[in-house]
């Protein structure tokens, strides 16, 4: 059985290019006692993977050159030497970008019942949705009537964060990178206002116009000049959740930006980073709440599915360029 894998061919200089990845074939090992063999159905494509392609500190060690790229996925159990999983089970698992994986049986999470569509288990009911849920609700504690700004608002996490803020009764202002995205978050994600940062010259003026009562909560997916503008408009007691910094991931050198710590003093504002995995003990409860919002129609999940394992590098590079709306997934 041949296992196709995407490995890191070279550390990218700026935006990754096709040649930074290599499609290789490996043999699939036999599962040992306690292990399972799974076959990928869908693989998650996430911007933050870019950080592990460079030799910088990240949420996990850098991928070695020649090492396997990737993140989570949905898979089917093919063979099981782990008592609580059986062939045919559908699981969410740390697949990496490969067609097959042999995993410690404790790692995959059986998805039961299967959501409709099944890909929701990677998106709105998976890591993406949980990231929006805890990053917004736990880190920022938004209250009804407050103004919430979301950057990267048309992305996988951003679309969910906007909708959760709306469910909580906030005024939601989204920032995205195309007119199509702006239309989407206004029409489908409940944003009260939104703007295209690529066609806006003065972010501070635009935000001041769209946030007449200032900014109470900022859910930051991008960092960079958008975040700089937000820091100038935060209210007393503002909470800022640092979810991603996609504007920075392709920078070889640390970018310089205006210092803003002074703004935190007189506003008593809090800036906090988070990793979703820290909230694992509360995932089930969060998933149940999100599933309820999906059923009631308060929450919509947009997916952006690319077909074909071999198209992963292109799907990933495009994601870093912002050519997606919603959750990008590759169907294997």
Q: Tell which residue, 107, 42, 43, 119, has the closest CA to residue 80.
A: 107
DSSP 143: -
Smaller CB separation from a second copy, 202 or 255: 255
Cα–Cα dist 281/171, whole Å:
30
Cα–Cα dist 11/21, whole Å:
9
Q: What values do phi and psi take at 63, rounded to 5?
A: -70, 135
Radius of gyration of the chain (CA): 20
Question: Of residues 273, 300, 305, 311, which one binds a second copy by CB under 8 A?
Answer: 273
Any contact of residue 268 with a second copy (CB under 8 A)? Answer: yes
Structure token digits, residue 219: 């859910």
Smaller CB separation from a second copy, 194 or 271: 271
In whole angstroms, the minimum distance from the beta carbon of 3 to a second copy comes to 30
Any contact of residue 54 with a second copy (CB under 8 A)? Answer: no
In whole angstroms, the minimum distance from the beta carbon of 141 to a second copy comes to 13
Any contact of residue 265 with a second copy (CB under 8 A)? Answer: yes
Question: Of residues 53, 207, 226, 269, which one binds a second copy by CB under 8 A?
Answer: 269
**What are the beta bridge partners of residue 5?**
24, 98
Smaller CB separation from a second copy, 67 or 214: 214
Angle at 277 between CA 70 and CA 121, to 5 degrees: 65
Question: Of residues 38, 153, 165, 227, which one binds a second copy by CB under 8 A?
Answer: 227
Question: Of residues 32, 266, 281, 284, which one binds a second copy by CB under 8 A?
Answer: 266
Q: Which helix (H) or strand (E) holds 102?
A: strand 100-104
Cα–Cα dist 237/134, whole Å:
19
Any contact of residue 213 with a second copy (CB under 8 A)? Answer: no
Question: Of residues 2, 25, 32, 57, which one binds a second copy by CB under 8 A?
Answer: 57
Any contact of residue 290 with a second copy (CB under 8 A)? Answer: no
Smaller CB separation from a second copy, 223 or 326: 223
Any contact of residue 270 with a second copy (CB under 8 A)? Answer: yes
Per-position x/- string for 233-252, each x denoting binding to a second copy as judged by CB under 8 A, each - no binding: ---------xxxx--x----
Question: Of residues 2, 262, 281, 284, which one binds a second copy by CB under 8 A?
Answer: 262
Any contact of residue 76 with a second copy (CB under 8 A)? Answer: no
Any contact of residue 46 with a second copy (CB under 8 A)? Answer: no
- Find where tokens 């890909």 sit: 119
Any contact of residue 107 with a second copy (CB under 8 A)? Answer: no
Q: Tell which residue, 289, 268, 269, has the closest CA to residue 279.
A: 289
Any contact of residue 62 with a second copy (CB under 8 A)? Answer: no
In whole angstroms, the minimum distance from the beta carbon of 261 to a second copy comes to 5
Q: Are 141 and 167 in contact (CB under 8 A)?
A: no
Q: How far is CA 188 from the centre of its chain?
A: 19
In whole angstroms, the minimum distance from the beta carbon of 271 to a second copy comes to 4
In whole angstroms, the minimum distance from the beta carbon of 218 to a second copy comes to 11
Q: Are 306 and 330 in contact (CB under 8 A)?
A: yes
What interhelical angle do 224-231 and 203-210 show, nearest 10? 50
- Find where tokens 């799907």 sit: 315
3-state SS class at 77? strand
Cα–Cα dist 9/183, whole Å:
38
Any contact of residue 280 with a second copy (CB under 8 A)? Answer: no
**Number of residues in contact with a second copy under rule CB under 8 A:** 35
Contact positions toward a second copy, by CB under 8 A? Answer: 51, 57-59, 220, 223-224, 227, 242-245, 248, 254-259, 261-275, 278
């Amino acid at each position: 059985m041949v296992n196709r894998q995407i490995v890191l061919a070279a550390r990218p200089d700026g935006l990754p290019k096709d040649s930074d990845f290599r499609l290789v074939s490996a043999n699939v090992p036999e599962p040992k006692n306690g292990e399972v063999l799974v076959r990928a159905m869908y693989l998650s494509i996430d911007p933050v993977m870019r950080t592990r392609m460079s030799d910088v500190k990240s949420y996990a060690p850098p991928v070695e050159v020649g090492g396997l790229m990737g993140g989570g996925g949905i898979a089917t159990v093919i063979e099981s030497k782990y008592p609580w999983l059986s062939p045919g089970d559908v699981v969410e698992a740390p697949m990496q970008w490969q067609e097959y994986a042999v995993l410690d049986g404790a790692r995959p999470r059986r998805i039961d019942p299967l959501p409709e569509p099944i890909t929701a288990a990677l998106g709105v009911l998976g890591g993406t949705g949980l990231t929006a849920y805890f990053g917004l609700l736990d880190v920022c504690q938004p209250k009804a009537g407050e103004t919430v700004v979301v950057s990267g608002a048309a992305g996988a996490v951003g679309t969910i964060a906007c909708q959760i803020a709306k469910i909580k009764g906030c005024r939601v202002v989204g920032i995205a990178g195309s007119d199509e995205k702006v239309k989407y978050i206004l029409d489908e994600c409940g944003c009260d206002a939104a703007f295209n940062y690529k066609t806006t010259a003065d972010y501070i003026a635009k935000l001041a116009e769209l946030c007449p009562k200032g900014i109470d909560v900022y859910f930051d997916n991008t960092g960079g000049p958008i975040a700089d503008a937000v820091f100038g408009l935060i209210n007393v007691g503002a909470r800022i959740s640092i979810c991603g910094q996609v504007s920075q991931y392709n920078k070889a050198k640390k970018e310089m930006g205006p210092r803003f710590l002074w703004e935190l003093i007189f506003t008593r504002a809090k800036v906090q980073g988070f990793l979703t995995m820290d909230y694992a003990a509360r995932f089930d409860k969060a998933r149940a709440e999100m599933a309820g919002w999906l059923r009631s129609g308060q929450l919509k999940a947009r997916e952006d599915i690319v077909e074909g394992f071999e198209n992963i590098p292109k799907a990933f590079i495009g994601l870093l360029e912002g050519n997606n709306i919603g959750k990008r997934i590759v169907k294997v």
